[in-house]
Structure 1
């Protein structure tokens, strides 16, 4: 994530071309909005702000606009989206693009225009001349999904933008409750900063526990945490609360089963010597989830986890075949866990 690039943008030190590369939609939009808000007055948007989708419009039109002097202002912002021709992907869009003209503009960008190229891809085709030139001439801002350290830094920066500081314990707690969706985290941090007001300044763990919206997924995570520590009575309390909220036992079962499968996979890979970062890549889950799973997996032997997965599979069959009441099947799974250790 281009934290330094964002600081320069907010200080109104702009590059003539930005290449925003990555699949984290929230970050792509955050960078785009920062450029627009800091480069233009709102009254200029109608005259000096344009968007061009390369799957529907030719790059020639976008470049022609970028070469046009701004009207009643100092700058023009031109945003190009979906530039599939920078990748190796085949696209069915029947739009003709004059890439030679685009290449010429990249080498001699208009000094009064900020060209923002939003590339929502993991990578570009480095063999292409236009990609090589673009990466040399443009300011490249990575907008890939953030790792744990990066996401915590992003949360800290987001809190500071709201005039608050974020305690380390609060960061960890908010990630546990809200997950790693940046849009959700942004909303939660804004709410908490508004709640504490300018006098308090610090968002603490207690404030997070009080204000953060509890999702069903988080409630299931809490239930699994109680199961891990063999606090079955507390796990049952959470289960009954979810039932009172009209949550379907089969859906709850599926979420619990996913959690225990992840515990087993992390346990297995850990014993093979894989790092948490490598495990996240293999399992295709966020590194923070791997970290939490590794903490929980320490309380089990491999055989215990396998046995739990079998119990959950049996419960799934009994519920879906109608042989056992759904609530009773889940209660049996929870109770059977108690004497496992």
Structure 2
């Protein structure tokens, strides 16, 4: 798993070759930063760090950089971005690569260099010899979008990097408050880890006390209150968002998006789609589908469509100046009063 490779990097147990592939930008950037911090000192970066775009530079030229002795330091670090030759897709780049040179290098890498092939692609071509060789010989990080189970495991592993533990009920609360964005979760975990000190355990109460709700989660709660006809609760959250300088049109847009998602999820579930297939069809995280499915049971499709129409009407009145933006949403809440 990603965390195991990260642990080795932090212990300075550095591999000569890394393959980082996938579309989860946070995992890619975090790995790059860890390599940079642990492979080179601040004084060595100017002399021994290279960043090469393989859509513009042949691999053999990049490898020459890796085979150059480090200057005023112990090692070189070479990031090789966009190795499109690892995929089945055709590139617009006219650069030709001598892949044989890369095969020879990874079989016998320079002892004073670290190379990291950064492939921001969803899939690699597993049929290619070079892909197979890299997966066998390199330290591999698959930077993919994580499902709910993987995020829960990742949170536990990420906490262990800071030498703390986190209870399952605390993870539940973290996901409820902060959502599934890995950058937000990392920031909150780092904050919690500093709070509890090394060797201690993060519990649900600590998460409730310290983790800030993301805008998305605040909107989710607002929509939930609104749909339950809890006018007081909805208005309280709405006013809190206004105090945080959130724009009423932005809030309305998020609310409309959430109800539209519920409608789409309900329609696809009615057609027999599984949770995973719904997530794939709508291109969203499966955890969002799970939460939407939990809410849709209380409403029929006609009610949800009516709400979407009300949101559209309120949006039009806001943008054309027919109603004050802040007041328009409150009127919408009043309309929902039982």
TM normalised by structure 2 equals 0.86
Task: Find the aligned partners of 1:25 and 1:113 in 2 and give their Cα distance.
Answer: 24
> For 1:31-67, what per-residue CA distance to the aligned partner results, in whole angstroms no more than 9, with x for missing partners?
3444455556666656655432223433223212333
Residue 17 of structure 1: CA displacement? Answer: 2.6
Moved more, 76-85 or 152-161: 76-85
CA contact (8 A) 1:228 1:299 kept: no
1:318 aligns with 2:317: yes
Moved more, 317-326 or 293-302: 317-326
2:336 aligns to what SS in structure 1?
helix
Residue 260 of structure 1: CA displacement? Answer: 0.3
Number of aligned residue pairs: give it: 338
Tell me the residue number matched to 2:117.
Answer: 117
Q: Are residues 329 and 205 of structure 1, via their aligned partners in 2, closer, same or farther at CA, if it must alter by over 3 Å?
A: same
Residue 129 of structure 1: CA displacement? Answer: 4.2
> For 1:262-301, what per-residue CA distance to the aligned partner results, in whole angstroms no more than 9, with x for missing partners?
1111122222332222211111111121121112222222
Task: Find the aligned partners of 2:7 and 2:15 in 1 and give their Cα distance.
Answer: 12
CA contact (8 A) 1:156 1:165 kept: yes
1:123 aligns to what SS in structure 2?
coil
Residue 121 of structure 1: CA displacement? Answer: 0.8
Moved more, 74-83 or 255-264: 74-83
2:57 aligns to what SS in structure 1?
coil
Tell me the residue number matched to 2:55.
Answer: 55
Q: Are residues 173 and 162 of structure 1, via their aligned partners in 2, closer, same or farther at CA, if it must alter by over 3 Å?
A: same
Tell me the residue number matched to 1:258.
Answer: 257
Task: Find the aligned partners of 2:191 and 2:165 in 1 and give their Cα distance.
Answer: 13
Residue 158 of structure 1: CA displacement? Answer: 1.8
Residue 91 of structure 1: CA displacement? Answer: 4.4
TM normalised by structure 1 equals 0.85
Task: Find the aligned partners of 2:74 and 2:189 in 1 and give their Cα distance.
Answer: 34
Task: Find the aligned partners of 2:246 and 2:42 in 1 and give their Cα distance.
Answer: 45
Moved more, 293-302 or 61-70: 61-70
Let me know the Cα RMSD of the aligned residues: 2.9
CA contact (8 A) 1:74 1:112 kept: yes
Q: Which structure 1 segments of 5+ residues have no match?
A: none
Tell me the residue number matched to 1:20.
Answer: 20
Q: Are residues 247 and 112 of structure 1, via their aligned partners in 2, closer, same or farther at CA, if it must alter by over 3 Å?
A: closer
CA contact (8 A) 1:66 1:115 kept: yes
